[in-house]
Amino acid sequence: MSLRLDGDVIRFEGQCRVEDTETLVALLHKAPEAKLDLAACQGMHAAVVQAMLAFGRPVVAWPTEGFLKDHLAPALAGLRPTKL
Amino acid sequence: MGTTVLIVDDSKLARIVVGKAIAALQPDWNRLEASGADEALALLDCQAIDVVVLDFNMPGRDGLELAEELRGRFPNMPIAIATANVQDEIIARAREAGATFIPKPVTEDGMRGFISGAALRLRSAAQ
Amino acid sequence: MNDDLLPHFLIEGRDLTEQAAHDLQMLARGPDKIALDSCFRAIHTLKGSAALFDLPPMVRLLHAAEDLLGAMRSGATADPAALPALIEVVDQTDRWLDELAASAVLKTGAEQVEKRLAALMGRAPPPEASDTDPVTTRLGGVAIRYTPRADCYFAGDDPLAIIRAVPGLVDLRIAPREPFGDLARYDPFTCNLVMEAVSTAERGAVEAALRLVADQVVLSELAQTASVETVEAEVRTLRVAAERVDHLSDLTDELVIAKGGLALLAAQAERLAEGHVLAQALRAQQARLDRLVGELHGTVGRIRQAPLAPLFNRFPRLVREVARSLGKTVSFEVEGGETEVDKAVVDGLYEPLLHVLRNALDHGIETPAMREASGKSAASALRLSARSAGDRVVIEVIDDGAGMDPRRIQDMALARGLIDESQAAALDDRAALELIFLPGFSTAATASDLSGRGVGMDAVRSAVARLGGRVEIASQVGKGSTIRLVLPISMALTKIMVVTCSGERFGLAIEGVAETARVAIGQLTPVRDTEAFVLRDQVVPLVHLADLVGASRPTRPEVLRVVVAKVGDESVGIVVDAVVDRLDATIRPMSGLLVNAPGVNGSTLLADGTVLMVLDLQELVG
């Protein structure tokens, strides 16, 4: 299990794969106020990143893994709630 | 109904490696093997097969030709071609045939993307 | 130089300065980790983008601001003077964007401004050595734009892993390709991303890393020395007559088809003695052409997109006039006019929307007296809204009027002879509401001067269908009604299988095709009034395309060519004479006499100039 809802925080752990996207989207719907904690995330599929972009939830902690830290966090700089 | 994957490679060893990788990723899938294009086509005539993994280098018809033929019959079937050597012209033809490349030697990691995608596609087609 | 990138930078830069300013305002009210992170990201992105152009003072100042924000994030500084200084930096950046928009260069004196503001932030201008910072000042390299195909997740691609494998990656940006639209219907497995990155590696190395997705990638070299003057011409927008864009779009569609001819040539060359090399060359050329044509098609598609606002802005006055003539008080709201859709869709929506709005005013909304009698406010609310949802646009007309009573609609349809008793008995509420789409239906108890124009909801439905869309309806008695139009944002490419039948060619959307098979006559078994064959233990009924399209069946061959289609949960075999081709095409809605031809999805033009009818399998067989 690489995603879990912990209070009002969705925690990403280990490898978040394409199959986890549905879980993530379900959690995002279930907990509309939840923020994201990526600290323990070791890898992320593009579909997971896309869901993060779409839902625009605030990230409370970014990953420490090299690529995610150096490139993903700045790459998602535009991460803001989608305007409808 | 279960998912059936057909592994086509002239090397028995290679089929075992591919089979192991698939078993690790999707333990519930039925695995069938064929040692060449003709045997594969014969199996497809008598059995429902959902996913195909082809070796590129095979005597007789190569994996790409077989992929093109299968695409003609099954427009939406997930098809992968395992190969160590990828030339641009082959990439273009494989893309035309809607096949995914898997690097050889085949590993669980190398296989993961295709297998995940295929599982998603089969599920969304079933809905 | 990134000539074509400056307009993007100007647009994105405005958003980012606005965001940063907003975040700083939040921070001014008290510690706010989210606002601080957001501000840091906005400044970081601004800096990265500015580095793509020759704007050293702007890059250095933003770099200093990023450093300061970084220190604030890690708790290393809490200087009360920091916030006002940062606000000044953001304002100055915004002014610089004005200057860039006006003349594509920063005014002289930018260095002085930079030094003053850097000092204000308590940061000395960074030493020259920091010019080697690869992110901020590197001007050579390769810019990458990677637009993964929408179905790439199914093919097993992970675009993030692919971009990660690019050597020398220094600046990655990930954004949606299209707005996400309604999140309640978010589709997690349709890829909707664009990745932009810069690599310091050799172009050849970048190409090698991206070769499996070469058809989805555009590379451009960033020059070592940049000259901002050359940008000037690119900033202007160009106004072009709509007919020219239409013509360009038609030509692009034809090009898509013409390029399909190459596959045929390659196959023919393959059959020649010694033809293999030529066939290979043709295929390689075709792959290149594929990529270019795909890009061209996408670009022209975007040119064709226009906002709904000019259309929507025509309605407020019309609504006021109609409401006045009916003695009704209406507060009319319009939103989502900024949503962009294909111009053909914008142009085709005036009549249908006008009709839906008139219907709402005429039949839905009550008179002020009736409203007050039922405890509602005298003024009714009528709303026209648009939003994008994936590749579709959703346009709604919502009123808070009397709503529609399904039973009353059903009775009226009965009275008008549109349905009979047994049909009526079988209708649930939703199906009863749908009756208003039958030709010749009007629910007004008293015919007003607005009805009786010979235009009903049936006309709305077929107008929307012509644009490739559908109409939905929801209503609650006493509460009001919603009419929803769901339309494609752009006229996209569809994969089509071309089959022949009685000497004519027809197109079938590949999406609905499960497989093709050859069935020997001897394998057929009669089932009721038709025939069936067994495909891997499953009995598949056969229909003849000739029967469906009203042609005569050819003499029966020994082996039938069968296209197996999924219709709902069932497999159906469709007998054709031959499967002759596959192609990507833009399906155009039918026009003229064939507008309402059943079972026809639309048409497309073939390489030889003939028109191919594309059949709707669900409708034909279902």
Domain ranges of chain B: 4-126
| Residue B88 main-chain phi, psi, to 5 deg | -55, -40
Q: What is the structure's pLDDT at C609?
A: 61
Using CA atoms, how far apart are residues C208 and C205, in angstroms rounded to an integer?
5
Name the minimum distance, in Å, from the CA of C212 to any CA of chain B.
7
Asked if pLDDT for residue C516 goes beyond 80, the answer is: yes
Residues C390 and C458 both lie in one domain = yes
* Host H or E run for residue B99: strand B99-103
Instruction: Give the closest of C153, C186, C192 to A25, CB-based.
Output: C186
Closest residue by Cα to residue B92 from C292, C286, C261 = C286
Using CA atoms, how far apart are residues C142 and C157, in angstroms rounded to an integer?
22
Identify whether C419 is part of a domain. no
Residues C509 and C587 both lie in one domain = yes
Using CA atoms, how far apart are residues C547 and C556, in angstroms rounded to an integer?
14
Residue C578 contacts residue C561 (beta carbons within 8 Å): yes
Asked if pLDDT for residue C82 goes beyond 60, the answer is: yes
One-letter amino acid of C548:
L
Residues C207 and C249 both lie in one domain = no
Q: Which residues of B touch C286 (CB under 8 A)?
A: 92
Cα dihedral C512/C517/C520/C524 (nearest 10): -40
Residue C48 contacts residue C62 (beta carbons within 8 Å): no
**Predicted confidence pLDDT, tens digits, chain B (127 residues):** 689 999 999 888 888 889 999 999 999 999 999 999 999 999 998 889 999 999 988 878 888 999 999 998 998 899 999 987 677 778 888 888 889 988 878 888 889 999 999 998 888 776 6
Q: Which residues of B touch A17 (CB under 8 A)?
A: 112, 116
Asked if pLDDT for residue C556 goes beyond 50, the answer is: yes
pLDDT bracket for residue C159 (50, 70, 90): very high
Using CA atoms, how far apart are residues C581 and A75, in angstroms rounded to an integer?
42
Predicted confidence (pLDDT) per residue in C360-404, tens digit: 998 899 999 999 999 999 899 999 999 987 777 899 999 999 999
Give the angle C470-C591-C310 at the CA atoms, nearest 5°.
60
Identify whether C231 is part of a domain. no
Domain annotation for chain A: domains and CATH numbers: 3-78 (3.30.750)
Identify whether C49 is part of a domain. yes
Q: What is the mean pLDDT of residues C228-249?
A: 57
Using CA atoms, how far apart are residues B78 and B114, in angstroms rounded to an integer?
8
Q: What is the structure's pLDDT at C315?
A: 85
Which residue did the predictor score with more confidence, C612 or C302? C612
- Between C34-48, C99-113, C392-406, C444-458, the lowest mean confidence (pLDDT) is in C444-458
CB atoms within 10 A of CB B70: 25
CATH number of B4-126: 3.40.50.2300
Q: Which of residues 48-77 of A touch C (CB under 8 A)?
A: 49-51, 53-55, 58-60, 67, 71-77
Looking at chain B, which residue has its C-alpha nearest residue A45? B113
| CA dihedral sign of residues C429, C433, C434, C435 | positive
Maximum separation of any 2 CA atoms in chain B, in Å:
39
Q: What is the pTM of this model?
A: 0.47
Within chain B, residue ranges assigned H as helices are 12-25, 37-46, 63-73, 88-96, 108-126
Residues C157 and C280 both lie in one domain = no
Chains that touch B (3 or more CB pairs under 8 A): A, C
Local structure of C437: helix, strand or coil = helix
Residues C211 and C350 both lie in one domain = no
Q: What is the mean pLDDT of residues C406-422?
A: 87
Residues C201 and C253 both lie in one domain = no
